[in-house]
Structure 1
């Protein structure tokens, strides 16, 4: 199917950043299509925190309310599916979905998120977002004062340890191989009595995502309440790259202060653009993106 409508904007990704952009554009009477496959990265996280008025709600509760509010604006349409390719054309951009449907728009917004690359540790993925967590701001309060591990090495480990140390004094660093710290960093870790274990992790024993034990590959079993992990990631969508959008050295979509990518008419917001992965930040960046896109359309039409 090819939709003959030329949308003012297509938003790829219908979670917090995408819905926030859609809300702004819908209130500006822009014809918008939101394409979403319904698999947000925080789908198994039990509670979302640090978002004013929604603290403690489940991610699903927040996104459901958000979508219901956006649906009130009749110029915003939703497509349940996966965008698989995109290209420039005479009107702006063409997006194709996994079902073969084709849509055209003047502007593109990527709110497509990122994909965490799970380590080959039994039980890890089942605990991810529940008791194996990435962010002290999002989840740290719930585990304050608890026995906590950090799976990281080098500068990333030091950064996480400094934040987590404010929440608990019972910290162990799992470097999963030879520790990579300079003398000053070692002194800091020793000062705060942070233990370092270089032995690789074989398994995380848990009950419905809540961890009980960390099993090392030498057979040793250690009890923890929570683990932080700094994971590599990839972009959920490769369409920005195929369109020529530049990525940062860390793998995020490069944007300026107005969420514009390096390709004219293409914008990005949410987790695919920043280390600051939170619902609050996604909503903010999506709101800004919607306003910027509407402003660009106004300038072109007025």
Structure 2
């Protein structure tokens, strides 16, 4: 059997793409390894009618809805390679299964690489986060720390003033801020600390203080740590997709990549902002493009 479309990734982008294409009566293979990036998150926010939903509940509802459409087949397996064939694409999984499809959507998302700071992971998803729009409300008016080794830390600090005026900005030993930027932040009462961080200290998921390599300690109850984002899967690169300036898979406004018949949706293509509602919308848009292209091919 050759599916109309195979979708790699069962996050909000892949699931919404499967929903739209299932409703369009397209035969779909939705392939997912069930290892969501936001599994450690207690709740997801900013998605109307789903504000505060746990990632597990979101996936349960989504798979239940997608499963109502008989032309969508969910394959819980790990993809190891994808090849281009005459009829479209062939997907290989770790057990030797081969899935062929006319079109392919990469909704594989990204993975986060955090700075190696002791104590980060026990606190991550509880009092330390990476997205102010996702978790800023829960940390409002608290003494917060912002940790970033990237030039974007200046923008993040300005943004976080909407949620708290008590901010300490840390660059973890990197020269991420210009002298002018440091002065501008300090003029707003924001403390800037550029020395390396040795540890986040807290218990039961609650941050208590940040310890620096020079022995300095700063009391904080929560904050945001900026990760480096990289592709979760190498398939776009292996298939020869062009990259955008952020390192995501370059697409047109409809999700089409530089490879005919290959599409990308969600974080894999644009990297930021990393929110459920953006990814789901991207999946819907891309699925519409897939259906349109299949319709034109079949009609001709």
Question: Shorter-chain TM-score category?
Answer: over 0.9
Residue 278 of structure 2 corresponds to residue 281 of structure 1: yes
Report Cα offsets for 1:172-208 as digits up to 9, x if no partner: 0111115443343123112111111122112222334
Q: Is contact 1:255–1:268 with CA below 8 Å preserved after alignment?
A: yes
Question: Contact 1:156–1:230 (CA<8 Å) still a contact in 2?
Answer: no
Once the two structures are superposed, the pairs formed by residues 100-179 of structure 1 within 5 Å of their partners are 100-153=96-149, 155-179=151-175
Contact kept, 8 Å, 1:205 with 1:213, in 2: the verdict is yes
Please say if residues 7 and 106 of structure 1, whose CA atoms lie closer than 8 Å, have aligned partners that are also in contact: yes
Q: 1:136 to 1:80 in 2, by over 3 A?
A: same
Question: d(CA) in 2 for partners of 1:123 and 1:97?
Answer: 36
In the alignment, is the contact (CA less than 8 A) between 1:45 and 1:129 conserved in 2?
A: yes
**1:57 maps to which residue?**
53
What residue number does 1:225 align with?
Answer: 221
Match of 2:295 in 1: 298
1:236 equivalent in structure 2: 232
Do residues 190 (structure 1) and 159 (structure 2) align?
no
CA deviations 1:26-85 (Å, max 9, x no partner) are: 001111011111111111111111100011111111111011000000100111111111
Aligned partners of 1:203 and 1:215 also within 8 Å: yes
- 2:83 aligned to which of 64, 81, 87: 87
Moved over 4 A (4+): none
Say if 1:118 and 1:125, in contact at 8 Å, map to a contact too: no
Deviation at 1:125, TM superposition (A): 2.5
TM-score, normalised relative to structure 1: 0.95
Name the stretch that deviates more: 182-191 or 98-107: 182-191
| Residues 130 and 209 in structure 1, CA contact (< 8 A), matched pair in contact too | yes
Secondary structure at the counterpart of residue 151 of structure 2: helix
Q: Post-superposition shift, 1:154?
A: 5.5
Q: Provide the secondary structure at the position in 1 that maps to 2:22.
A: helix
State the Cα distance separating 1:296 from its structure 2 match.
0.6
Secondary structure at 1:34 match in 2: strand
What TM-score, normalized by structure 2, do the two folds share? Answer: 0.95
- For residue 248 of structure 1, the aligned residue among 244, 253, 265 is 244
Partner secondary structure for residue 44 of structure 1: coil
| Structure 1 unpaired stretches of 5+ | none
SS of the counterpart of 1:100? coil
Secondary structure in 2 aligned to 1:155?
coil
Deviations 1:126-181 (A, max 9, x none): 33333221111111011010111111245311110011011111000111115443
Structure 2 gap ranges (5+): none
Q: Cα offset for 1:118?
A: 2.2
